[in-house]
């Protein structure tokens, strides 16, 4: 079976796009350059802000996301990954715009969690406010009979502040500690596992930072993309 080419809708944000590509590389069993999967990235930073659009005060990003997907298909991609959780609100529009598979980060993460944590039913979520508002993770995790626990409003404000700091290039210790405080509060409230549900958050947090498990959907998506590409 011929190896498939991965296309990435990137630029949402740029560092998260690099992180996804790096995780694709690390997830590929390769000894030489030619063992790696061909990846086409459209780092389209001009895709309108998902948060503003979802909360009703910004341009609809669906047309630009769809055009970016078509660009990737025209360039030769056989499957598409989207390097942003909130952008999956527009998943159906992207799927309709192309004739190749588009993997869904939330569905892949829910499937992964059902395999890795079959006995756990409460997952804490660190994500952007738009992802929270849309209920992307509760909808996905309902399918595996698990629930999502969101941070308290004051903690969610702290998460959003950290996300924008990360987007501005601040990957420092204070940002990490603020996110860890929210994760600890989720754990105290009953979360057994923490989902890093914004593609900026894994740039500063990783599994092992706290005694409870962290799940990185970017890593999950990378592994799913590699598996599909390699058949």
Is 198 one of the catalytic residues? yes
For residue 14, give both structure tokens.
């740029």
Which H or E run includes 80?
strand 79-82
Which residue of the set 45, 84, 113, 162 is catalytic? 84
What residues are paired with 194 via a beta bridge?
A: 124, 214
Closest CA to 6 of 25, 34, 32, 29: 25
Is 162 one of the catalytic residues? no
**Can you tell me the distance from the alpha carbon of 28 to that of 26, in angstroms, rounded to the nearest whole number?**
6
Helices (H) then strands (E): counts for the chain: 10, 7
For residue 28, give both structure tokens.
């590929």
Concatenating the DSSP letter of every residue in 129-193 gives HHHHHHTHHHHHHHTTT-EEEPPPHHHHHHHHHHHHHHHTT---HHHHHHHHHHHHHHHHTT-SE
Catalytic residues, by residue number, are 84, 198
């Amino acid at each position: 079976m011929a190896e498939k080419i991965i296309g990435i809708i990137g630029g949402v944000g740029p560092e998260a796009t690099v992180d996804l590509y790096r995780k694709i590389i690390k997830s590929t069993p390769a000894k030489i350059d030619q063992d790696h999967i061909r990846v086409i990235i459209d780092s389209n930073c001009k895709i309108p802000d998902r948060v503003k659009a979802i909360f009703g005060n910004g341009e609809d990003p669906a047309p630009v996301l769809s055009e970016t997907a078509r660009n990737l298909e025209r360039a030769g991609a056989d499957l598409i990954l989207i390097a942003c959780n909130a952008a999956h609100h527009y998943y159906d529009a992207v799927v309709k715009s192309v004739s190749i598979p588009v993997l869904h980060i939330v569905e892949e993460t829910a499937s992964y969690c059902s395999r890795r944590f079959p006995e756990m039913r409460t997952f804490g979520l660190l994500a952007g406010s738009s992802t929270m508002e849309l209920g992307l993770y509760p909808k996905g995790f309902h399918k595996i009979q698990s629930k999502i626990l969101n941070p308290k409003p004051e903690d969610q404000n702290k998460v959003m502040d950290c996300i924008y700091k990360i987007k501005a290039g601040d990957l420092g210790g204070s940002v990490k500690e603020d996110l860890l405080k929210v994760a600890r509060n989720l754990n105290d409230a009953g979360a057994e596992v923490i989902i890093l549900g914004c593609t900026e958050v894994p740039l500063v947090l990783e599994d092992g930072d706290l005694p409870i498990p962290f799940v990185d959907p970017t890593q999950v998506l990378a592994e799913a993309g590699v598996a599909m590409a390699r058949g």
